[in-house]
């Protein structure tokens, strides 16, 4: 199974500042046949279901604000939230969908400083 590890476990960021979350997979999630990274990011707010933010490591889901961006390659990926807003308080998960079982990182809790 591919192990996915996020860092940090939590972070507090001032409104309007940048939040950076890292994600590392135990093996590459790049499919050479299509040159795509099978890595997604989700936002999970309390009392709501998770919401897909980013897929293919850097493609923003329709309707997701452009302050959310994904980057990275191979085994190391980053979710960046620029200009943090109060509504961005949530737990963020990365997930690999390269091979089953799909696996999630342990989550990163983002709070307002």
Partner 1 sequence: EVQLVESGGVLVQPGGSLRLSCAASGFTFSSYWMSWVRQAPGKGLEWVANTKQDGSEIHYVDSVKGRFTISRDNAKNSLYLQMNSLRAEDTAVYYCARESVGGGGKLDRWGQGTLVTVSS
Nearer to partner 1, 55 or 68 (CB): 55
Q: Any idea how long the chain is?
A: 113
CB of 17 to partner 1, least distance (A): 25
Residue number with CB closer to partner 1 (5 or 14): 5
Q: Which is nearer to partner 1, 13 or 91 (CB)?
A: 91
Across-strand partners of 10? Answer: 109
8 Å CB contact between 81 and 12: no
**Eight-state DSSP code of residue 86:** G
Pairing relation of β-strands 36-37 and 30-31? antiparallel
Which DSSP letter does residue 26 get? Answer: S
CB of 34 to partner 1, least distance (A): 8
CB of 15 to partner 1, least distance (A): 26
Residue ranges that bind partner 1, judged by CB under 8 A? 1, 34, 36, 38, 40, 42, 44, 48-52, 55, 61, 91, 93, 95, 97-98, 100-107
CA distance 14 to 83: 9
- Taking the least distance from each CB to partner 1, the nearer of 19 and 93 is 93
Tell me the closest approach of the beta carbon of residue 113 to partner 1, in angstroms.
Answer: 23
Report how far residue 16's alpha carbon sits from residue 21's, in angstroms, rounded to the nearest whole number: 16
């Amino acid at each position: 199974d591919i192990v996915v590890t996020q860092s940090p476990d939590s972070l507090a960021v001032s409104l309007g500042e940048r939040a950076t979350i890292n994600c590392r997979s135990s093996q590459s999630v790049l499919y050479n046949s299509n040159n795509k990274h099978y890595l997604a990011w989700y936002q999970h707010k309390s009392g709501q279901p998770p919401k897909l933010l980013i897929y293919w490591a850097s493609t923003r889901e329709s309707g997701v604000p452009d302050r959310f961006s994904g980057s990275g390659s191979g085994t190391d990926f980053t979710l960046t939230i620029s200009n943090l807003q109060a509504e961005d308080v949530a737990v963020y998960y990365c997930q690999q969908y390269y091979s089953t079982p799909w696996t999630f990182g342990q989550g990163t809790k983002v709070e307002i400083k």
